Structure 1
Amino acid sequence: MPTLRFDNAFVRDLPGDPETGTQRRQVHRALYSRVHPTPVAAPRLVAYSREMADALGLDAAYLASPEFAQVFGGNALLDGMEPYAANYGGHQFGVWAGQLGDGRAITLGEVLGAAGERWELQLKGAGPTPYARMADGRAVLRSSIREFLCSEAMHHLGVPTTRALSLVTTGEQVVRDMFYDGNPVPEPGAVVCRVAPSFIRFGSFQLPSSRGDVALLNELIDFTIRRDFPELGGDPGSPEVRAEWFGQVCERTARTVAAWMRVGFVHGVMNTDNMSILGLTIDYGPYGWIDDFDLDWTPNTTDAQGRRYRFGNQPQIAYWNVAQLANALVPAFGDTEALESGLERFVTTYTAADRDNVARKLGLIACRDDDLELMHALYALLHSAEVDMTLFFRGLADLDLAAPSLAPFAEAFYDERKREAAVGPFNEWLSRYVARAREDGTPHAERCARLHAANPRYVLRNYLAQQAIDRAEAGDYAGIHELLDLLRRPYDEQPGRERFAQRRPDWARNRAGCSMLSCSS
């Protein structure tokens, strides 16, 4: 049995729901409801993150034990665990939705690491909670695989993110209508243990504010500053500390979204209840990576009409979201000056991060104003010629500055006719780029290293995840393990694994799970 030190500050220091049970209800003057996971028939560990297990102090013997699957499948609790579901609200697709809460996520407790770091352990798919509304609180294997793999993939890409410890199958079937078209089918169920220093989100503050519960709002702000922003020091109720806290939230959010843009990640459902107060990427649902470059692409079928959460709109939505958080905090701040200042910090932080992205992705020492135009011209070419984003930017390292050509990008084009039509414009752009790179004066080896460090060789393309899902649903989990290992080193060349770096195959262009996904994906 592991020795885990639990310090469950959230349930100890904040007010909870006096009512028990999983019956659906509106919960007022409380930030959580105590609820236990619902046991499953036959929990079985099929994959785990070695790095996350090490951080928690869980050894291989315990991970392989029947007890681990029982605990992290939702059938048992360890001493010190105090499970609960959090209460929060949020804007969904720009519309205030009122109370939402953890409908299928149950936090087991907060573990303290050897260095005092805090890890909140949360089971997703562990059964109904008071916030499940009409749902069953379960998760299917396909969505659980996607969340498990993406959490760890993003970490290794260097993108701020929640983590994943384990993926446990339940031995039970879950009925889902994947595309909400009246065709529900039974699917294998699973539970993911996701891990983060905190799962507090923008909507945690929005709900009490929307109800006029300023006392609860202040209590949550003070707690969040004390527990999750200890470096701020001082009195969490002081205007100065609170102003700096909100400014940091804005900065972290801006840096994270800039990181998404750098690697071509599209979250797909940037509702305010899916925005972490720590600036972590959270709630992996209908996400996707850009294949052929398209700023208007969204992976979310629910967003297909409005495309609110499309790739190129993510920075604007992030700003809108922090502005909604600012609105919710007004009653606790008294005036708007500090909040307006924080929003300005979002803009300046994102602008700087975006310029840094341009420099890094082009292998330049720094970004000049004319480099922004150079990058925007490239974006237009990549879109019109239907070029793979990941392959093109990775190929820049193989460009011969003495004799530039499209040869390093041959595998990046999805349409041969479009490639032929774009040869002239691309050669013109490459000439401009070569002139700029020579002016930059970076030695070849250093330029290549900079390009490789910014532009991943491997990303979790939807079709790769779907192939692993297809195998897993047939009882073969090797594809999950293979991808997990591959994505530990996304910036490295990995001989023998070149097939994972190929552009999306034609068969995956419109296949379910490989292009568009639903919120149940």
Structure 2
Amino acid sequence: MNSLDHLSVTSSPDSRQNAIRFGFDNSYARLPGHFYARLVPTPVSSPRLIKVNAELARSLGLDPHELVTDRGINILAGNSVGEGSEPLAMAYAGHQFGYFVPQLGDGRAILLGEVIGLDGVRYDIQLKGSGPTPFSRRGDGRAALGPVLREYIVSEAMAALGIPTTRALAAVTTGDRVLRETALPGAVLTRVAASHLRVGTFQYFAAQDDVDGTRILANYAIARHYPEIAQSPRSYRNLLDRIITRQANLVAQWMLVGFIHGVMNTDNTSISGETIDYGPCAFMEAYDPDMVFSSIDRQGRYAYSNQPHAAQWNLVRLAEALLPLFEQEEGSKEAALASAHDALGSFGPQFEAARISGFRRKLGLFTEDDGDAALAQSLLDSMATNHADFTLTFRRLCDAAAGADDSAVRALFADPVAYDSWAAAWRSRLEKESITNEERATRMRRVNPIFIPRNHLVEAVITAAVEKQDLQPFERLLDVAVRPYEDRAGLEYYATPATPEQCVRETFCGT
């Protein structure tokens, strides 16, 4: 990794006071006032920079060297407001574990503004942990250091894996303590997203029977994310169609790397199709379709295998919010319901198509065969029975496909004979394709990571930072996580599953 890709400061920051040129162009702040609350972040006592994502900053047209000055750090901490910023907390509602809350909103986040990246795309820049807002519901609006480091690492790992996600632009410590179960060091994350529009944003207006608000929001979402449908006579139905497609593809991508979001509430379901809000998220090690890590998910609502069902449930809630607009398009309530039902019916087939296409690539299959879905499921079933590590199984299959013996992958199965039985069917299927073994293995290595942010490694990073003020483990794990497909010598520790003593069975929200 280029040494400038992630700038960090562990000594006193540069004292230059150059103006920070964000080039804000704030479209959401031009929407009606009841869409948000205007306020500035609450200052912190002694901000210090942990990290600036220089490569991401440059892609947004920002100078990363300006961000590490005193002035830049103060903006990233919320102690001052950059030129052109119009800080606001967004209003939204949401279903949380199936229970509807009519007003949630940004309780510990403030949108500083929007910038146009070098790619021509509009991005939100948001501070997370920047103090209380009118939506805080008696919370302190702050973030602890541990969850900030977790989100930085995991969101950047997801980006490196090619999965749509919010990004981490920077992280700072605050010099203040936040009270959770104990007093913890505080931090602020600067998050970048295509937008922070959520299913819950639409629910906020629908719950108030504010059809005009719903229409304004829908038109804004179309203009920002799906401009190609703006002139369609059924633009609101097309909007739902596009969001369904993005969510189906997103959840399939999660499943293909063993990722469990943990809190798939409607307020954590992004209209842009990005992964958002890395609270009690985790990557599986031993494959288990019923795996749950989140300490607050007592019923397994958002278990690994339930994620597609949860996503579809959330999309039903979005369709409900859009029904008044559908009715105007379709001419009657009955036709609106039929249209929504038709759209929602496409989620399952789209998800399954994305999922099986992904598993074909992971297994080195580049043509289609009717038995491919069953072949993939047979492997997953055997992995579950034999406690095989999800990531390493697929990575070691790359070597097996290249012609190496199967001993490395066999060793991952409690009963290696179970692998042998499946491997015979897999090799028979490989014979139906003309691609060379080496080319197959090369292409498999591009989709089967060797490195993921394993839960015990993330927890070790947090423990070192919180208890010892040592950020070197964070630096090292981040360097590994942002190059997930490169099998680098000397990093075997980061690819090794947790021992029973290291195993992390529960992950926690940062609130």
- Normalised to the residue count of structure 1, the TM-score between the two structures is 0.90
2:147 touches 2:509 (CA, 8 Å); kept in 1?
no
- SS of the equivalent of 2:102 reads strand
Q: Distance in 1 between matches of 2:93 and 2:296?
A: 20
Where does residue 22 of structure 2 map in the other structure?
4
Within 5 Å, which residues of 2 pair with 1:126-165? 126-165=130-169
Q: CA deviation at 1:115?
A: 4.5
Q: Distance in 1 between matches of 2:108 and 2:47?
A: 17
Q: CA deviation at 1:130?
A: 0.7
Q: Distance in 2 between matches of 1:32 and 1:60?
A: 29
Where does residue 423 of structure 1 map in the other structure?
416
Q: Distance in 1 between matches of 2:352 and 2:295?
A: 30
Where does residue 63 of structure 1 map in the other structure?
67
| Matching of residue 364 in structure 1 with residue 365 in structure 2 | yes
- SS of the equivalent of 2:190 reads strand
Task: Kindly provide the CA deviation profile for residues 151-198 of structure 1, in whole angstroms up to 9, marking residues without a partner as x.
Answer: 111111000111110010001111112xxxxxxx10100000000121
Q: Distance in 1 between matches of 2:351 and 2:459?
A: 33
Compared CA separation, residues 253 and 476, structure 1 to 2 (3 A): same
Task: Kindly provide the CA deviation profile for residues 4-60 of structure 1, in whole angstroms up to 9, marking residues without a partner as x.
Answer: 221111111x111xxxxxxxxxxxxx2111121100011111112222111122334
| Matching of residue 331 in structure 1 with residue 360 in structure 2 | no
Where does residue 77 of structure 1 map in the other structure?
81
1:508 touches 1:515 (CA, 8 Å); kept in 2?
no
- SS of the equivalent of 1:454 reads coil
Q: CA deviation at 1:402?
A: 6.6
2:164 touches 2:250 (CA, 8 Å); kept in 1?
yes
- SS of the equivalent of 2:188 reads strand
Task: Kindly provide the CA deviation profile for residues 53-83 of structure 1, in whole angstroms up to 9, marking residues without a partner as x.
Answer: 1112233421321111100101000111011
Task: Kindly provide the CA deviation profile for residues 383-440 of structure 1, in whole angstroms up to 9, marking residues without a partner as x.
Answer: 1111100001100011168785443343x35xxxxx2xx2222211111111111223
Compared CA separation, residues 193 and 401, structure 1 to 2 (3 A): closer
| Matching of residue 105 in structure 1 with residue 109 in structure 2 | yes
Q: Distance in 2 between matches of 1:457 and 1:323?
A: 36
Within 5 Å, which residues of 2 pair with 1:460-499? 460-473=453-466, 474-499=468-493
Q: Distance in 1 between matches of 2:408 and 2:484?
A: 23
Within 5 Å, which residues of 2 pair with 1:96-245? 96-177=100-181, 185-234=182-231, 239-245=233-239
Task: Select between 493-502 and 123-132 the one with higher mean Cα deviation.
Answer: 493-502
2:410 touches 2:419 (CA, 8 Å); kept in 1?
no
2:127 touches 2:188 (CA, 8 Å); kept in 1?
yes
The letter of the residue matching 1:76 is: S
- Residue number among 431, 434, 440 corresponding to 1:447 in the alignment: 440
Where does residue 280 of structure 1 map in the other structure?
274
- Residue number among 428, 436, 440 corresponding to 1:435 in the alignment: 428
Q: CA deviation at 1:312?
A: 0.8
2:401 touches 2:441 (CA, 8 Å); kept in 1?
no
- SS of the equivalent of 1:99 reads coil
Q: CA deviation at 1:224?
A: 1.4
2:178 touches 2:185 (CA, 8 Å); kept in 1?
yes
- SS of the equivalent of 1:342 reads helix
1:391 touches 1:409 (CA, 8 Å); kept in 2?
no
Q: Distance in 2 between matches of 1:126 and 1:4?
A: 19
| Matching of residue 54 in structure 1 with residue 58 in structure 2 | yes
Task: Select between 74-83 and 116-125 the one with higher mean Cα deviation.
Answer: 116-125
RMSD: 1.6
Task: Kindly provide the CA deviation profile for residues 309-361 of structure 1, in whole angstroms up to 9, marking residues without a partner as x.
Answer: 00011111111111111011101210134323322332232121011012011
Where does residue 381 of structure 1 map in the other structure?
382
Q: CA deviation at 1:484?
A: 2.0
Task: Kindly provide the CA deviation profile for residues 288-312 of structure 1, in whole angstroms up to 9, marking residues without a partner as x.
Answer: 0011100101110111x31010001
Q: Distance in 1 between matches of 2:243 and 2:143?
A: 30
Q: Distance in 2 between matches of 1:402 and 1:126?
A: 53
The letter of the residue matching 1:440 is: E
1:247 touches 1:341 (CA, 8 Å); kept in 2?
no
Task: Select between 161-170 and 116-125 the one with higher mean Cα deviation.
Answer: 116-125
| Matching of residue 500 in structure 1 with residue 500 in structure 2 | no
Q: Distance in 1 between matches of 2:408 and 2:111?
A: 51
Q: Which runs of 5+ in 2 are unaligned?
A: 1-18, 328-335
Q: Distance in 2 between matches of 1:133 and 1:428?
A: 56
- SS of the equivalent of 1:47 reads strand
Q: Distance in 2 between matches of 1:163 and 1:398?
A: 32
Task: Select between 451-460 and 328-337 the one with higher mean Cα deviation.
Answer: 328-337
Where does residue 25 of structure 1 map in the other structure?
none
Where does residue 99 of structure 2 map in the other structure?
95
Compared CA separation, residues 124 and 296, structure 1 to 2 (3 A): same
The letter of the residue matching 1:357 is: G
Question: How many residues end up aligned between the 2 structures?
Answer: 484
Compared CA separation, residues 447 and 400, structure 1 to 2 (3 A): closer
- SS of the equivalent of 2:125 reads strand
Where does residue 318 of structure 1 map in the other structure?
311
- SS of the equivalent of 1:168 reads strand
Q: Distance in 2 between matches of 1:371 and 1:114?
A: 40
Q: Distance in 1 between matches of 2:91 and 2:266?
A: 14
The letter of the residue matching 1:61 is: H
Task: Select between 141-150 and 335-344 the one with higher mean Cα deviation.
Answer: 335-344
Where does residue 44 of structure 2 map in the other structure?
40
2:174 touches 2:187 (CA, 8 Å); kept in 1?
yes
Q: Distance in 2 between matches of 1:102 and 1:379?
A: 39
Q: Distance in 1 between matches of 2:81 and 2:302?
A: 38
Task: Kindly provide the CA deviation profile for residues 265-298 of structure 1, in whole angstroms up to 9, marking residues without a partner as x.
Answer: 1000000000000110001100000111001011
Compared CA separation, residues 264 and 520, structure 1 to 2 (3 A): same
Where does residue 299 of structure 2 map in the other structure?
306
Q: Distance in 2 between matches of 1:147 and 1:244?
A: 32
2:93 touches 2:201 (CA, 8 Å); kept in 1?
yes
Q: Distance in 2 between matches of 1:200 and 1:492?
A: 34
2:52 touches 2:169 (CA, 8 Å); kept in 1?
yes
Compared CA separation, residues 114 and 439, structure 1 to 2 (3 A): closer
Q: Distance in 1 between matches of 2:326 and 2:136?
A: 32
Where does residue 395 of structure 1 map in the other structure?
396
Q: Which runs of 5+ in 1 are unaligned?
A: 17-29, 178-184, 414-418
Where does residue 516 of structure 1 map in the other structure?
506
Q: CA deviation at 1:369?
A: 2.7
Q: Distance in 2 between matches of 1:264 and 1:3?
A: 39
Q: CA deviation at 1:208?
A: 1.0
Q: CA deviation at 1:442?
A: 2.4
- SS of the equivalent of 1:194 reads strand
- SS of the equivalent of 1:506 reads coil
1:358 touches 1:367 (CA, 8 Å); kept in 2?
no
The letter of the residue matching 1:247 is: D
- SS of the equivalent of 1:120 reads strand
Q: Distance in 2 between matches of 1:389 and 1:206?
A: 36
- SS of the equivalent of 1:91 reads strand
